[in-house]
A and B are shown apart, each in its own frame.
Chain A
């Protein structure tokens, strides 16, 4: 436990004197820290055992050829080289990028818009908020089955299109329509969740700021631009980071609704990993793709943290 030790140089002079006189754990501050680490320890242990060790294990597997049936065989970086040349992997990366950005950009704006609406004085606001939030709490399997029915050639979506005079769309068999369909379904499910986060951010902005802005002659769009957006910045960062991480891990609904088809048009990276590992039993290749997904998500997150970092010069 590296963090437990505080070097004498870090301590104020008085504390240093006390430190000399008494063993380290006798100081109140040190005892306080020790308790803190003690309470953190179980969670830290869980993280190590169930997150970091499996991640290290996945990295090791990514350097092997392993089919579950025979012992792993070390192959160096060959799995990574195979992935780089694999058109299916390229297709999966493309599908994932399309899905993540298509869904996230829509979610950022739609959920912010809904939060602004629900933050304004509305009749029966709480009831409406609750109704709007329901898709976010529906179990993912139920959500997938609901959309399986909606996407049916004679399902509600096509009935609605027909009612407004538009031609029916083959949501599940047309390779051009299937991903926009998934983006639509993800928007239905996730926009309410992010709306709540935005709503919390909006409600934490003190009303005095708006009053001061109003005195200065800023109202409506100007107040939104000059007061709401800057103060909502940490919330926006949270929404952007969490939404990208969530969407890049999409799996269950794709598996249930299309299984990655038609013609691989919905085979997102997590499904590619699942199929490679658990259908074809190529654990090494699947692990390499997992490591790629991990680093891809981490890179985006760090990039966003940097982009949204508060400018120290104000």
Chain B
């Protein structure tokens, strides 16, 4: 009898404790996610905007439906294919959703403007930001941290690797594994073997940089990679740092790899088209691109090999790591924020599903130990490139930076402008663009 009373008392204390730690004025219940992260029990509606394509949104819809089943009081209104411009306009109008996707390039701007909420470690079952960071591969969250706060976690994390077309390599008497280029000089040499012409018409290329997208997205990525590989920085303390030896070496390397930039069917919405239709024998891309290439051209299934990205100095390997991330709006109510972070934790805790369904990596350590990771082809190349990846130059003027880099590359590659003066001009342009 006495024992029963003790148990009853403990239950009452537990219920009171749980009730007292929740958001003011709301009923709460333990989350199904991280232990100790309590959720409101009253109806909560949150909006989520994502910038992804059809395959990603299909998976997200499924996962959100699962979450809604687990939490019948939660309704998630999901919108897909949302561009960053719409997010910015909605923030200005005060109508931004509770969860929105932000690339690491845009995140700095959002952090400075205080429109994104710092991630609460408790939602991940951790007591500190370091605890959350420790769940991920080293440095992959660097771009998402400001001060002592972490502002987002990735839904997609990429480091560029080198994709090789097996058939075209073999047709040229090369082995896609043993003859995979280790340096950019190797790539330039292979270009002479793999580029084919009919008359004066280029019908096949070895490797070509990507010049599509008016915002300069790809040119900025490659320039970052080459500068990092040359031992330099693109941005240091918010100031341009690319106008130096590393920048010069990057541009010289770039020029050595030019074949015929205008001979391309790549577009901004289909940037891997040339590799997929077997015009280009090699390209650079993240882990998710294999499936995209196979969708464009089913004949590419089993017809490609992935190797680590070529380097300028193989003893100091470097590449770029970039991400698209879930963020939470500071304007959301306390209850919405709790649910939003819990949903993000739920979505990001299924790395095996993300990989199997759409080849998205999120950079968590536990993923590497899963059987699906061990059985994934080319995983060593992907993880190698992630391990040497560095984030994009950190600036709130990244949009300016990437178009300035693209214009600089255009000047050097297409107009044969001296790289030294092109770098100086780009530095001036960025200094002017980033002056408050």
**Bound pair: A and B?**
yes
Interface residues of A (CB under 8 A from B): 65, 67-70, 86-88, 153-154, 168, 170, 172-175, 255, 258-264, 275, 278-281
CA distance A244 to B397 in the complex (A): 35
B403: chain A residues within 8 A (beta carbon): 275, 279-280
Known pairs A68-B92, A69-B115, A173-B414; A278 contacts B85 (CB<8 A): yes
B263 near A263 with CB under 8 A, answer no
Q: B interface, how many residues as a size bin?
A: 20 to 34
Cβ distance B416 to chain A, nearest Cβ, rounded Å? 10
CA distance A259 to B213 in the complex (A): 7
A-B contacts, 19 of them at CB < 8 A, read A67-B109, A69-B91, A69-B115, A70-B113, A86-B432, A88-B429, A173-B262, A173-B414, A174-B414, A260-B214, A261-B410, A262-B414, A263-B407, A263-B411, A263-B415, A275-B214, A278-B85, A280-B397, A281-B399
CA distance A180 to B245 in the complex (A): 37
Residue of A with least CB distance to B397: A280
Cβ distance B80 to chain A, nearest Cβ, rounded Å? 20
Q: Mark B191-215, 1 if CB is under 8 A from A, else 0.
A: 0000000001100000000010111
Known pairs A69-B91, A255-B214; A263 contacts B262 (CB<8 A): no
Cβ distance B185 to chain A, nearest Cβ, rounded Å? 25
Known pairs A170-B262, A259-B213; A279 contacts B414 (CB<8 A): no
B262 near A67 with CB under 8 A, answer no
3 shortest interchain CB distances as A-B pairs: A259-B214, A69-B113, A173-B262
With most chain B CB atoms within 10 A of its CB, the pick from A68, A174, A260 is A68
B92 near A69 with CB under 8 A, answer yes
**Is there a chain A Cβ closer than 8 Å to B400's Cβ?**
yes
Q: Which of B247-278 contact A (CB under 8 A)?
A: 260-263, 268
Residue of B with least CB distance to A170: B262
Cβ distance A82 to chain B, nearest Cβ, rounded Å? 8
Cβ distance B264 to chain A, nearest Cβ, rounded Å? 9
Residue of B with least CB distance to A82: B432
**Is there a chain A Cβ closer than 8 Å to B88's Cβ?**
yes
**Is there a chain A Cβ closer than 8 Å to B110's Cβ?**
yes
**Is there a chain A Cβ closer than 8 Å to B172's Cβ?**
no
Q: Mark B380-411, 1 if CB is under 8 A from A, else 0.
A: 00000000000000000101100100110011
CA distance A263 to B411 in the complex (A): 6
Cβ distance A309 to chain B, nearest Cβ, rounded Å? 42
Number of A-B contacts (CB under 8 A): 70
B400 near A280 with CB under 8 A, answer yes
**Is there a chain A Cβ closer than 8 Å to B433's Cβ?**
yes
**Is there a chain A Cβ closer than 8 Å to B89's Cβ?**
yes
B399 near A279 with CB under 8 A, answer yes
B88 near A281 with CB under 8 A, answer yes
B268: chain A residues within 8 A (beta carbon): 259
Q: Which of B302-350 contact A (CB under 8 A)?
A: none
Q: Mark B103-114, 1 if CB is under 8 A from A, else 0.
A: 000000110010
B429: chain A residues within 8 A (beta carbon): 87-88
Cβ distance B65 to chain A, nearest Cβ, rounded Å? 32
Residue of A with least CB distance to B436: A65
B399: chain A residues within 8 A (beta carbon): 279-281
Residue of B with least CB distance to A72: B92
A173: chain B residues within 8 A (beta carbon): 261-262, 414
A154: chain B residues within 8 A (beta carbon): 201, 263
Cβ distance B111 to chain A, nearest Cβ, rounded Å? 10
Question: Which residue of the partner chain, among A168, A260, A281, contacts B109 with CB atoms under 8 Å?
Answer: A281
Cβ distance A189 to chain B, nearest Cβ, rounded Å? 21
A168: chain B residues within 8 A (beta carbon): 200
A153 near B263 with CB under 8 A, answer yes
Cβ distance B327 to chain A, nearest Cβ, rounded Å? 13
Question: Which residue of the partner chain, among A68, A172, A255, contacts B262 with CB atoms under 8 Å?
Answer: A172
CA distance A172 to B212 in the complex (A): 12
Cβ distance A271 to chain B, nearest Cβ, rounded Å? 8
CA distance A88 to B260 in the complex (A): 27
A172: chain B residues within 8 A (beta carbon): 262
CA distance A259 to B110 in the complex (A): 26
A260: chain B residues within 8 A (beta carbon): 214
- Given A259-B213, A279-B215, A281-B88, output 11 extra A-B contacts at Cβ < 8 Å: A65-B436, A69-B88, A69-B110, A69-B115, A173-B261, A173-B414, A258-B214, A261-B407, A279-B85, A279-B399, A280-B400
B109 near A69 with CB under 8 A, answer yes
Cβ distance A169 to chain B, nearest Cβ, rounded Å? 10
B214 near A261 with CB under 8 A, answer yes
B214: chain A residues within 8 A (beta carbon): 255, 258-261, 275
A280: chain B residues within 8 A (beta carbon): 397, 399-400, 403, 433
CA distance A69 to B92 in the complex (A): 6
Cβ distance A142 to chain B, nearest Cβ, rounded Å? 15
Residue of A with least CB distance to B432: A86
A175: chain B residues within 8 A (beta carbon): 414-415
With most chain A CB atoms within 10 A of its CB, the pick from B211, B262, B407, B411 is B262
